[in-house]
Amino acid sequence: MSDQSMPKVNAVFGATPEVEFQGAAPQGLRTVELVEGDGPVVRKGDTVTVNYHGLIWGTDKVFDSSFERHQPASFGIGVGQVIRGWDQSVPGHNVGSRLVVSIPPEYGYGSRGVPQAGIGGDDTLVFVIDIISTR
């Protein structure tokens, strides 16, 4: 599968993400590194600090964005503190990287979704993630 299936995103670390969808969501968990950082590599078990922008595939509906809050988020990665799609896609990338990740329900919030956030059980999620630091 080629990266053409993934949404177009501005490849500028730190800039508010602009996401443009084309076509249907790809199958499975997909990660594309738009900007390769030159900082330390994120490892499972690290505490990572990121800015992120989350949308439902094919919509302009942002359900959560630390960019919009101007407040990065920090959490343990690879240890079950966040959805599986994050735990499996962020480790192995460097600080300073911008990722775009397509997360199907089974790697996200499952068949229940998150009704209060407007996320349905069959929605594919898209996150743009800027990795700020890791420790």
pLDDT in tens, 2-51: 467 899 999 999 999 999 998 999 999 999 999 999 999 999 999 999 99
| 60 phi-psi bin (left φ>0, alpha ψ -120 to 50, beta other) | alpha
CATH of the domain at 79: 3.10.50.40
The first and second tokens of residue 74, run together, are 């920090």
Q: Does residue 113 lie in a domain region?
A: yes
Domain count of the fold of the chain? 1
The closest alpha carbon to 94, from 14, 40, 18, belongs to: 40
Q: Dump pLDDT digits (tens) for 101-133.
A: 999 999 999 999 999 999 999 999 999 999 999
Q: Does residue 13 lie in a domain region?
A: no
Q: Dump pLDDT digits (tens) for 50-94.
A: 999 999 999 998 999 999 999 999 999 999 999 999 999 999 999
Instruction: Give the per-residue pLDDT at 86.
Output: 98
Q: Does residue 1 lie in a domain region?
A: no
Q: Does residue 72 lie in a domain region?
A: yes
**Amino acid code (one letter) for 15:** A
Q: Does residue 21 lie in a domain region?
A: no
Domain extent for 46 = 29-134
Q: Does residue 129 lie in a domain region?
A: yes
Sort 107 into a burial class: Cβ within 10 Å, 0-12 / 13-18 / 19+. buried
pLDDT tops 70 at residue 1: no
Predicted structure pTM score: 0.96
